[in-house]
Each structure stands twice: as C-alpha cells, then as structure tokens.
Amino acid sequence: GLWGLVNNAGIMGAPAPTDWLDIEHFREPIEVNLIGLINVTINMLPLIKKAKGRIVNVSSVGGCLAFSGGGYFPSKFGVEGFNDSLRRDMKAFGVKVCCIRPGLFKTGLSNPAKIMKEKEVIWNKLPPDIKKQYGEEYFQKDAAKKEKLSKVCLNKDISPVVQCMEHALTSLHPRAHYVVGQDAKLFWNPLSRMPAIIQDFLLLRNRVELAVSHAK
C-alpha cells in the first residue's frame, strides 16, 4: 500500500479580468490544478485504501474566496468540492482526507513580476474597445495596487505549510482543513464567511476604477 499522497502541484494561470481572457486561459489551470489532482488521486486510491493511509490536497484561500478573474480560482473551488466528497467517501475505508488552504506565500506561483508580465501580454493583445473601457493607464495602476497588496499580505516563510502537511500525514487526528498564513487567518478566511455585500465592498476597494465608469 501507500500511506500518504500530497497533491501540491499547481499553476496560477493569468489572474486577469474575465473579459480579457479566452477559454484556454481557464483550461490550463483547471487541467493542472483540478483534473490533474483528481487523476493522480483516483489512480493512487487502491494503494491508499490498502494502507488505510492519508490524502492531503493543497487548495488555497482562493478555493473559498475568488478575488481575481481567471482559471485559478474556479480550479481551487473545484479542489474544495472534490476534497469534501472524497473525504466522506473514504471514511468507510479508514482513509483520512485533509485539505490545506494557504494564503499568499512567496513562491514561484505568486511571483508578482511573472504574473504582471503574463497580464501585460494579454493587455497588449486586447482590442481597442476593451482598452478604452478600462483606460490606457489601467495596467500601470493595477500593477501598483497588486504590488502594494503583495507587500502587505505575502508570507515569506513557507515552513508553516510544510508543518501542516506533516501534521496531516502523521497526526493521530488530522484536521479536515488547515488554514495557513497570517493573511489567510486574519483576513481571507474570515472574509470568505461574510455576506457577499461585505466581500464585494472590501475586495473592490483594491480594484482600479475603470475609465468606462466616468462615461456619460
């Protein structure tokens, strides 16, 4: 058998407004983050069941609160749904299934320079009418806001995530969900439980005002 499976592979994709994107921008993160995770899991299940082992799925605070466009957040919402159904299906076999929800950590996935470069490529290909709606200065202003948010929220030490993985694999009584990172515990996770009107108010305060909103 196999005692432990940790599904940690993931990509960000392009976190951009939905009307900037085509279906391929959504397909890639969903294929990797969700379909890939499901595929690995179902192929390993016979070995995990034999050992009465553990499955640890790394989701994200973005699996319960979508604060940007693109395929990353739908993929992580899917991971949360798959994780919950799998946990209940496996109880009868003595297999424990855990979900880890990290906040914003300093990794290759969250590299601000890489993300903004990908968004810039998309921005440069947008039709003129879309650019006009957003305003020619939108991209620069958005980059500045994202950089400010990153400085406030980004966790530099990834060891708490690793510690959660270790606890989920070795503890006699692992938790169903692990929320990791100060930003996740103090802001994203509590916000995900609040009414939509409060979520929208707080999240939209970090958005750049569009040129179209001034049109008469």
Task: Read off the tokens for 21.
Answer: 């994107």
Model pLDDT, residue 212: 75
Q: Is the pTM for the entire model greater than 0.75?
A: yes
157: pLDDT strictly greater than 70: yes
Q: Is 180 helix (H, G, I), strand (E, B) or coil?
A: strand
Q: CATH second-level architecture of 4-211?
A: 3-Layer(aba) Sandwich (3.40)
Which residues share a beta bridge with 96?
54
4: pLDDT strictly greater than 50: yes
Angle between helices 72-90 and 23-30 (to 10 degrees): 30
CA-CA distance, 108 to 105, in Å (whole number)? 9
Catalytic residues: 72
CA-CA distance, 52 to 116, in Å (whole number)? 44
Nearest 5°: the CA angle 169, 164, 160 is 150
Mean pLDDT of the chain: 92
pLDDT in tens, 55-98: 999 999 999 999 889 999 999 999 999 999 999 999 999 999 99
130 sits in which H/E element: helix 128-134
CA torsion angle 68 203 161 186 (round to 10): -170
216: pLDDT strictly greater than 60: no
Model pLDDT, residue 170: 97
Model pLDDT, residue 215: 45
Mean pLDDT comparison of 6-15, 45-54, 145-154, highest-scoring range = 45-54
